[in-house]
């Protein structure tokens, strides 16, 4: 079952990072609401929560760590410097979150 889940997790993580990067380029100092991110990425809160927490543990995003936004793990998220570097390194980004088979 793990193999079937991995491609969708990687697809969602790529979508999250790509969207946060686009938002960062628009308004660099504005955090993004997890509710808005879930809508844009087409993810249910539980799926978004564990994937966004994974990305935080990797150091690519930073969560606001407030708990007043149920059912989301946090209210806001921002891309870190490491996250920006990852998205801008197209070769590494594609290696970690490949586009192939993500249709």
- Tell me the average pLDDT across 36-64: 96
Q: Which residues contact 41 (CB under 8 A, 6 or more apart)?
A: 12, 15, 16, 19, 48
- Tell me the average pLDDT across 33-45: 96
Check residue 1 and give its pLDDT: 36
Rounded CA gap, 53 and 28, in Å? 21
Six-digit token pair at 71? 């059912």
Domain boundaries of the chain, sorted by first residue: 2-95
Give per-residue pLDDT as tens, 62-77.
999 887 899 999 999 9
Question: Residues 52, 77: contact at Cβ < 8 Å?
Answer: yes
Q: Please state whether the predicted TM-score (pTM) of the whole model is above 0.85.
A: yes
The per-residue pLDDT of the chain, averaged, comes to 90
Reported residue count of the chain is 103
Check residue 66 and give its pLDDT: 82
CATH class for the region spanning 2-95: mainly alpha
Check residue 67 and give its pLDDT: 76
Rounded CA gap, 26 and 96, in Å? 25
Rounded CA gap, 50 and 73, in Å? 8
Is the per-residue pLDDT at 25 higher than 60? Answer: yes
């Amino acid at each position: 079952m793990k193999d079937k889940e991995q491609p969708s997790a990687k697809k969602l993580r790529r979508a999250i990072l790509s969207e946060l990067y686009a938002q960062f380029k628009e308004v660099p100092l504005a955090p993004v609401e997890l509710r808005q991110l879930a809508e844009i990425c087409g993810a249910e809160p539980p799926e978004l929560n564990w994937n966004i927490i994974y990305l935080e543990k990797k150091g690519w995003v930073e969560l606001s760590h407030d708990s007043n936004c149920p059912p989301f793990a946090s209210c806001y998220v921002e891309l870190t410097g490491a996250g920006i570097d990852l998205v801008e390194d197209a070769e590494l980004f594609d290696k970690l979150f490949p586009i192939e088979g993500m249709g």
